[in-house]
């Protein structure tokens, strides 16, 4: 069998999105649109997935490290796009091309596999879907205007004319094609840009092939949403919602307990284990992993985090590139920034922020605290309002706090600084020197009580100083 390679068309600007971001990098559940297409194709076609890039090509390349790219300098239309990639693909030994629009994020491996199966041996074939409103899609014209008639042509929406093409049907071109490379090479030079869009349409290959007596297969995929294209913000939102719904359904099926499921958003790369609990609204994105018996409550946002068994992320916490160990508690209203690691049974409470900081097993920072570039030992207690002063305007420095240490409220730890195991720092201290293990440090102004002067009244006599104060 001739070797089949895939070409994903991802060079266009996506004018109808009205955005500076190239369309194929528009995000659905925080992953770029084209990555959905690539994930649907790779299980079926392995390594032979090529991507045609053009508009903001470097940004697109960056999103697919290790990908194979062909550069289309000017986006003159989908036929020009195919023509641009053919020489490289042919040189790589590919003889048949599965051409897929990069703006079909709902594509599934099953759909790709069945399309390939049904088009085996056909020199040219394409998938069709049936829509209530054919909108901007290319219309499929068949002999006798019947669904089972032979395909005659695809007519782009802009060119469609009832007088010329007969009554409008609901079957449209879905933007996925299988074509023998030899046939594409023969017909592409015949495609012109003499049309309403002034572009070279790949869909013109159909009529050209039919004109040469070649039967072109229009593979009807019915109302399958897997091939819906995204051209506008409205279509992006609808496709994202379909993906979201499908993912939440699958998680429920697998045994994740989800409260308010219509408000839960889980990205395609995130894993949520059966037995985990989620409460909407909440969002879990990137390569996150939520273990069984772990819990994410409402208004929580999780990006690229590991949340171990029995850990609870309470409401309104935002956590990113962090690890929350077994049975640890975060929030409400906590923020874990990249490099935060909470070991088993540790607690981070309200208005606490951690960045590049490790909280040892059972350690607690429960209120109003910033721990940046810090290591906190097991069982340590970080009082309310503790701040690690980790930045001197030029460099970052570490704070190390030992096991079972007790840091009093409203303490500033001026890094680099080390507080030993079992040490105690008095409330309100500004700690600039190391504190040894088992030592107590108080670094604050001593309290003085003096008479207060009040206008028109005698001075209040000072209190007798208490002995030992």
Catalytic residues: 367
- Give, as ranges, the residues between 428 and 457 that touch Ca ion (CB under 5 A): none
Closer to Ca ion by Cβ: residue 26 or 388: 26
C-alpha span between 90 and 78 (Å, rounded): 18
Contact criterion met (CB below 8 Å) for 53 and 27: no
Q: What share of the chain is helix, strand, coil (3-state, %, to 5)?
A: 25, 30, 45
Please state, in angstroms and rounded to a whole number, the distance separating the CA atoms of residues 15 and 302. Answer: 32
- CA-closest candidate to residue 98, choices 42, 170, 165: 42
- Please enumerate in sequence order all residues whose Cβ is within 8 A of that of 309, keeping only pairs 6 or more positions apart, or say none: 291, 292, 293, 294, 326, 327
Nearest approach, Cβ of residue 84 and ligand UD1 (Å): 8
- Least distance from ligand UD1 to the Cβ atom of residue 171, Å: 10
In this complex, which beta carbon is closest to Ca ion, that of residue 231 or of residue 399?
231
Of all residues in this chain, which one has the CB nearest to ligand UD1 in the complex?
Answer: 138
Nearest distance from residue 208's CB to ligand UD1, in Å? 14
Please list every residue from 212 through 241 that binds ligand UD1, using CB under 6 A: 229, 231
Q: Which residue is nearest to Ca ion (CB)?
A: 229
Nearer to ligand UD1, 147 or 361 (CB): 147
Q: Which does 52 bind (CB under 5 to 8 A by kind): Ca ion, ligand UD1, none?
A: ligand UD1
> Is 12 one of the binding residues for ligand UD1 (CB under 6 A)?
yes
Site residues for Ca ion, 98-117, by CB under 5 A, read: 103
Q: Is 201 in the site for ligand UD1 (CB under 6 A)?
A: yes
Would you count residue 11 as binding ligand UD1 (CB under 6 A)?
yes
State the DSSP code for 140: E
List phi, psi (to 5°) of 435.
-115, 125
Query: At 329, which helix (H) or strand (E)?
Result: strand 329-330
Q: Would strands 49-53 and 31-32 be described as parallel, antiparallel, or unpaired?
A: unpaired
457 Cβ partners below 8 Å, 6+ apart?
A: none
Considering only residues 228-247, where is the footprint of Ca ion by CB under 5 A?
Answer: 229, 231
Nearer of residues 115 and 137 to ligand UD1, judged by Cβ = 137
What is the closest distance, in whole angstroms, from the C-beta atom of residue 190 to ligand UD1 in the complex? 15
Half-sphere exposure of 66 (CA within 13 A, CB side): 4
Q: Which of 217, 123, 133 is nearest to 169 (CA)?
A: 133
Tokens of 241: 């919602």
Q: How many residues bind Ca ion (CB under 5 A)?
A: 3
- Sign of the dihedral through C-alpha 37, 38, 41, 44: negative
Joined tokens for residue 249: 């359904």
The least CB distance from residue 17 to ligand UD1, in Å, is 10
Q: Which of 26, 35, 101, 346 binds ligand UD1 (CB under 6 A)?
A: 101
172 binds ligand UD1 per the rule CB under 6 A: yes
Q: Which stretch binds ligand UD1 (CB under 6 A): 115-123, 131-139, 144-152, 314-322?
A: 131-139
Nearest to 171 by CA among 179, 160, 180: 160
Q: How far from 436 is each of 376, 381, 408, 425, 461, CA to CA, in Å?
A: 15, 17, 16, 11, 42
Spell out the residues 6+ positions from residue 432 whose beta carbon is closer than 8 angstroms to its own.
414, 417, 443
Q: Which does 137 bind (CB under 5 to 8 A by kind): ligand UD1, Ca ion, none?
A: ligand UD1
CB of 252 to ligand UD1, least distance (A): 31
| Count of residues in contact with ligand UD1, rule CB under 6 A | 32
Tell me which stretch binds ligand UD1 (CB under 6 A): 130-138, 371-379, 399-407, 421-429: 130-138
| 83 and 47 Cβ atoms separated by less than 8 Å | no
Show the site string, 51-80: x = touches ligand UD1 by CB under 6 A, - = not: -x-x-----------------x--xxxx-x
Residue 385 interacts with Ca ion (CB under 5 A)? Answer: no
Residues that bind ligand UD1 (CB under 6 A): 9-12, 23-24, 52, 54, 72, 75-78, 80-81, 101-103, 136-138, 154, 156, 172-175, 201-203, 229, 231
Question: Could you list the residues that contact Ca ion (CB under 5 A)?
Answer: 103, 229, 231
């Amino acid at each position: 069998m001739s070797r089949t390679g895939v070409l994903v068309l991802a060079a266009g600007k996506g004018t109808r999105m009205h955005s500076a971001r190239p369309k194929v990098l528009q995000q659905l559940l925080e992953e770029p649109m084209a990555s959905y297409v690539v994930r649907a194709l790779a299980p079926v076609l392995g390594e032979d997935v090529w991507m045609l890039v053009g508009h903001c090509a470097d940004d697109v390349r960056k999103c697919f490290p290790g990908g194979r790219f062909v550069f289309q300098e000017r986006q003159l239309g989908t036929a020009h796009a195919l023509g641009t990639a053919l020489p490289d693909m042919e040189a790589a030994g590919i003889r048949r091309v599965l051409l897929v629009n990069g703006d079909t994020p709902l594509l599934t491996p099953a759909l790709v596999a069945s399309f390939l199966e049904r088009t085996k041996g056909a020199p040219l074939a394409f998938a069709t879907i049936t829509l209530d409103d054919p909108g901007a899609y290319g219309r499929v014209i068949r002999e006798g205007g019947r669904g089972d008639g032979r395909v005659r042509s695809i007519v782009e929406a802009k060119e469609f004319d009832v007088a010329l093409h007969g009554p409008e049907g609901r079957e449209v071109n879905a933007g996925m094609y299988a074509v023998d490379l030899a046939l594409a090479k023969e017909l592409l030079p015949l495609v012109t840009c003499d049309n309403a869009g002034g572009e070279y349409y790949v869909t013109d290959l159909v009529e050209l092939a039919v004109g040469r007596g070649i039967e072109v297969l229009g593979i009807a995929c019915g109302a399958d949403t897997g091939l819906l294209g995204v051209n506008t913000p409205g279509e992006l939102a609808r496709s994202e919602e379909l993906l979201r719904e499908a993912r939440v359904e699958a998680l429920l099926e697998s045994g994740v307990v989800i409260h308010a499921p219509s408000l839960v958003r889980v990205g395609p790369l995130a894993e949520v284990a059966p037995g985990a609990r989620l409460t909407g609204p909440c969002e879990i994105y990137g390569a996150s992993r939520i273990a069984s018996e772990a819990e994410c409550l409402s208004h929580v946002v999780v990006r690229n985090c590991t949340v171990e068994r029995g850990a609870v992320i309470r409401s309104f916490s935002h956590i990113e590139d962090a690890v929350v160990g077994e049975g640890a508690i975060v929030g409400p209203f906590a923020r874990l920034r990249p490099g935060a690691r909470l070991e088993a049974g540790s607690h981070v409470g309200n208005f606490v922020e951690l960045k590049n900081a490790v909280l040892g097993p059972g350690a607690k920072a429960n209120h109003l605290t910033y721990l940046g570039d810090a290591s906190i030992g097991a069982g340590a207690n970080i009082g309310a309002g503790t701040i690690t002063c980790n930045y001197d305007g030029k460099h970052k420095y570490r704070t190390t706090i030992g096991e079972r240490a007790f840091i009093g409220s409203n303490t500033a730890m001026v890094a680099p600084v080390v507080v030993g195991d079992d040490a105690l720092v008095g409330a309100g201290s500004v700690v600039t020197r190391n504190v040894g293990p088992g030592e107590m440090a108080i670094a604050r102004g001593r309290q003085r009580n003096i008479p207060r002067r009040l206008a028109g009244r005698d001075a209040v006599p000072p209190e007798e100083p208490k002995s030992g104060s």
